[in-house]
Structure 1
Amino acid sequence: MQLNFSVKTLLLLLSFSFIVSCTQSDTPLEQHEHAIEGTFAAEISLNGDYSIISTISHGIRLWDNRNHQLLYNWRHSNIKDNDVFIVRISANNRFALSSSTHEFAIWDIKTGHSLGFYKVSESPIRDIQISANGRYILYGQVNGKVVHLDLKTGHRLEMPIHTEKINSIDMSANGLYALTGGNDHRAFLWNTKTAQIIQEFDFENRISSVRLEPSGRYAFIADTQKSAQIWDLKTGKLHSTLIYSARQSIFSSVRFIDNGKYLLTGNSTKMLRLWDVDTGLLIQQWMISARKGTRPKTAVVYSATLWDANKIASESSAGLLEIWPMN
């Protein structure tokens, strides 16, 4: 009995030691201001070329990150700037999306033109995604419904699969698969053409975050406490669990990078972390910058991605694009 206890204790100590000893950087290699007073939402494109941000005082902005150039300044015509709380960039960098609780807009990244404004008159939007070709929209609502729209044909699929509020959704780049999670402690992977549920995931607490790996191999699902899991969608089995010492962690951003080898997560206390997908171990972490003169001196990590194969780029509520060294 004593030997078993010692072995378990040793394993726990080794795991905790790894978490504590992982490298951390608080000094970015580059820093570029994208909003003077901060942002309500932001997303970096998967390849890092663009950032879309919902600013506090200058509407919605699209930045060319490679040339550090502001490309467009967009506004929803009938709502306040601070009502836009979700922004997205399609996987092929062709389309952008901005959303309030009852309205979303689609934008052409090449021309800057608006491609349409759409009203959602029923329950408020909680999360929303756009397909690579801009044809499909998926959004989850407070009433637990998930809606898949084909903007070309006008076909609407409404999935009342959740019994409580939706918290997070994701959609494959081709618009064919959806991953949704809500307050009912459940997440679902389902086919948007047939409405068939492919896999159900049951948790002990409310689901706070879901994300699909771009190639469709993995799904990340986390609840509001300490369960953050990576599932292999080809086998339907649990692949790994993130290992961290905090009692709970609510993720403000999640993204698979480097062909599914790593997972990037951000939170509301300036922490950006890189995880090994196969083991769930923390590899590296960065403390993003807060705006000077703000109280308290904190910031939310809204989005992050791989930058030039060996760096990480982040966007935050501080209105800053930052580039970080990657070991």
Structure 2
Amino acid sequence: MTGATRALTAPDAFNCVAPRQSARNKGEDMAPCLRGPLRIALLLLGLAVPISERASAAIDPTLALFLGYSKAINVVAISPNGRQAVTGGQDNLVRLWDVPTGLLLRTLDAQAIRIYALAFSPDGQFILAAGADATLRLFAVKTGELVTTMEGHASDVLSVAIAPDGRRALSASKDKTLKLWDLETGQLAKTLEGHSSDVTAVVFAPDGGRALSASADKTLKLWNLETGQPESTFEGHGDAVTSLAVSPDGLQAVSASKDKTLKLWDVGSGHLLRTFEGHPSETTTLAFANGGRILSGGADRTLKLWDAQTGALVRTFEGHADAVASVAVSVDGSLAISGSPDKMLKIWDLDGGHVRRTIDLQSETFSPNGYRNFFKGVSAAKTADPAEVDKRLREKGMKRGDPVFLRIFKADLEAELWIKGVDGFALFATYPICAWSGQLGPKLAEGDAQTPEGFYTIGKGQLNPNSRYHRAFNIGYPNLFDRAYSRTGSHLMVHGACASIGCYAMTDAFIDELWLLVTAALDAGQERVGVHAFPFRMTDERLAAFDWHPWADFWRDLKPAYDLFEESRIPPQVSVCNKRYVVQPGRTDSKSAPALRVACPQPPLASTRLAPVALPKPDHRFP
């Protein structure tokens, strides 16, 4: 929260949603006022100088911001484990996403204005990005750091691929060449020449010794990377080839073209095996899926799933509002990801034929730097029914006033309320979180718009029944652990409504229900209610999937508390030692979650038995 927020009379007036008024933000605040007139002026200019649909890639980036192209998606790629996806577009940002949750994990500044090409390394540890500045950049996924920069092309790089061994990369460019790079040194190993126009796509064969390229000259070429010479040329398209993919076994290739078709080729012989027709306009992108299927996207705004062996159209996917610019399929073939100039990223269930998730890059969810810092939804009804809550409690053998315990899972958008019974705590209800802000990871500083993660408690003094957002519990940030790292912030709440800059917004109805149960427990003698805020459900599989993340070590310190509660259904005791959380089993007879304290595990006590002492020998000179 900001200093301005603290100056308000109500303790949490504007809590979590107060606008930041720094000098840095004033220009941003004025942007909406200027955007309308500027767009009108540019529209009038556009009437005098028409801009074609395909010309957006060449628009000056400054104008592109006002014309709305800045977040158009040009390319998508999916990690080998299917867990992350990466997108690039008309701005200079490469965005890394968590596929199951749709959360934005990281942004990488590719400094290229327009990103046209992306690829994951086979181990998923690196991302190769390239675009309009003719430069390739290799980033480390775990740290986000730029590892290598490769320069050598004379024009836009339109496609990149990384070899199966992860040591080499290929790039295709509008300068009519392909270049082979050594990723370990960043040095250019070889230039491949032979196409007579833009080289639009390139892929490695599974053996890593050959590669296939596609071009606006209507052909495909199979290259021997040892000699740098083409082994064969595939001809048959009637217009520029726009995209290319090789089957997992390397025996077949499929190409897409402006001639509205897909063509399936035998890689060994170069023979055309089959032509797929169904897109009414140019085919822009494609990928192999499992089960002998091909997924294509086109300027007609649809994706089409084909049977590669029969040529039959299996299914059509609709949902984009503009051309499908790029598509990628997970290794197991269960899902696909598509991007478009409509600024939408869509995750598709290929077998079910529906959209699993849509991510709108124009949404207020994303700030100018690309991170999620304002997430909001529609508030539910304004009140909860106490009689209905009491009925549900009775059905579970519970009552108002029993001790309660809260667990929050950011990425899952869920909060759990547990109520104490004879044999430990039992789950009463799981509530959807309507809004939280920031990224996965702990809150670090006042004004960072970040919702906290860690272990907190709520006492009576932290309740606000008259919050601007209906009702609110202050979770007690910063706790002892946060203060050990000099972290700052205030008025971090679980509250009603559905807007957040730093808090967990539950809607008014759900905060009402939580309020009934939390306040009843405190009134009945529970001194403090424990609140455990996790980034996600801390399963071994989920934590392993985020092993690359910069906060992975912090999350590993949270996991013992999750595991202990999962095993015992008793909230664990949490303390702090040497700036780390220390977790021990909870007590079955405990009604309250004690506030955090410094408590380092004590070493075993040394034995109090005295060691034998060597006595001097008697002096026989004396009687």
Q: TM-score with structure 2 length normalisation? A: 0.41
Question: Structure 1 residues 235 and 194 mapped into 2: Cα distance closer, same or farther (>3 Å)?
Answer: same
Q: Which amino acid aligns with 1:189?
A: L
Contact 2:152 2:188 in 1 (8 A): no
1:216 maps to 250
Number of the residue aligned with 2:307: 276
TM-superposed CA distance for 1:233, in Å, is 2.1
The letter of the residue matching 1:61 is R
> Which of the residues 272, 276, 298 maps onto 1:242?
276
Of residues 135, 140, 157, the one that matches 2:190 is: 157
Answer with 305-314 or 179-188: which moved more: 305-314
- Please give the alpha-carbon distance, in whole angstroms, between the structure 2 residues aligned to 1:208 and 1:276: 21
| 1:52 matched to 2:86 | yes
What is residue 112 of structure 1 aligned with on the other side? 144
Which structure shows the bigger proportion of residues in helix conformation? 2
Tell me the secondary structure at the aligned position of residue 115 of structure 1. strand
Matched, 1:314 2:338: yes
Whether the aligned pair in 2 keeps the contact of 1:63 and 1:71 (CA below 8 Å) is yes
1:207 to 237, 241, 260: 241
CA contact (8 A) 1:188 1:201 kept: yes
Q: Following the alignment from structure 1 to structure 2, what is the Cα–Cα distance between the partners of residues 196 and 37?
A: 38
- Deviation track 1:115-143 (CA, whole Å, cap 9, x = no partner) reads 11222352332322222444212112223
CA contact (8 A) 1:168 1:208 kept: yes
Q: Is the 8 Å Cα contact of residues 138 and 147 (structure 1) preserved in structure 2?
A: yes
Residue 304 of structure 1 deviates from its aligned partner by: 3.3
* Counterpart pick for 2:179 among 132, 147, 155: 147
Question: Is 1:42 paired with 2:76?
Answer: yes
Instruction: Say which structure is richer in strand.
Output: 1
CA deviation vs aligned residue, 1:149-184 (integer Å, no higher than 9, x gap): 223363521121112222222223554221112233
Identity %: 23
Q: In structure 2, do the counterparts of structure 1 residues 136 and 322 end up closer, same or farther at CA, with 3 Å as the change threshold?
A: same
What is the DSSP-based 3-state SS (H/G/I as helix, E as strand, rest coil) of the residue aligned with 1:193? coil
Contact 1:220 1:231 in 2 (8 A): yes
Aligned-partner Cα distance in 2 for 1:310–1:227: 25
Distance, in Å, in 2 between the alignment partners of 1:39 and 1:164 is: 24
Q: Counterpart in 1 of 2:326?
A: 302
Q: Is 1:187 aligned with 2:220? A: yes
Structure 1 position 114, deviation (Å): 2.1
Q: Deviations over 1:229-276 (max 9, x none)?
A: 111224543322213273x4222x2111116x0111112332011011
- Could you list the runs of 5+ residues in structure 2 that have no partner in the other structure? 1-69, 353-623
Counterpart check, 1:103 vs 2:135: yes
* Residues 320 and 160 of structure 1, relative CA distance in 2, 3 Å threshold: closer
Q: Corresponding residue for 1:32?
A: none
Which whole-Å CA distance do the structure 2 matches of 1:125 and 1:109 have between them?
21
Cα shift at 1:93: 2.0
Native 8 Å contact 1:213 1:219 kept in 2: yes
2:106 aligned to 72, 79, 88, which one? Answer: 72
Q: CA deviation at 1:83?
A: 2.4
CA contact (8 A) 1:210 1:222 kept: yes
Equivalent residues of 2:255, 2:286 under 8 A apart:
no
| Distance verdict in 2 for CA 1:47–1:239, change over 3 Å | farther
SS of the equivalent of 2:160 reads strand
Q: Secondary structure at the match of 1:107?
A: strand
- Which residue in the other structure is 1:137 paired with? 169
Change (3 A) 1:307 1:195: closer
Map 1:87-98; keep pairs closer than 5 Å.
87-98=118-129
Q: Equivalent residue for 1:288?
A: 319
- Contact conserved, 1:241 with 1:280, CA < 8 A, in 2? yes
Find the structure with the greater CA-based Rg: 2
Q: Which amino acid aligns with 1:326?
A: D
Q: Is the 8 A contact 2:82 2:330 kept in 1?
A: yes
Structure 1 residue matching 2:118: 3-state secondary structure: strand
Q: Once the two structures are superposed, what CA deviation does each residue of 1:174-202 show, in whole Å capped at 9, x if it has no partner?
A: 54221112233321111212224332112
Unaligned runs of 5+ in 1: 1-35, 291-297
Deviation at residue 314 of structure 1 after TM alignment: 3.4
> 1:35-57: per-residue Cα shift (whole Å, max 9, x none)?
x9553432233553211122566
Distance in 2 separating the partners of 1:71 and 1:311: 19
- Provide the alpha-carbon RMSD of the alignment: 2.8
With a CA cutoff of 8 Å and minimum separation of 6, indicate the structure with the bigger relative contact order: 1
**1:206·1:224 contact (CA, 8 Å) conserved in 2?**
yes
Amino acid aligned to 2:155: S
Offset from partner CA, 1:28-74 (integer Å, 9 cap, x none): xxxxxxxx955343223355321112256682211121344333221
Looking at structure 1, the residues matched to 92 and 261 of structure 2 have their Cα atoms a distance apart, in angstroms, of: 38
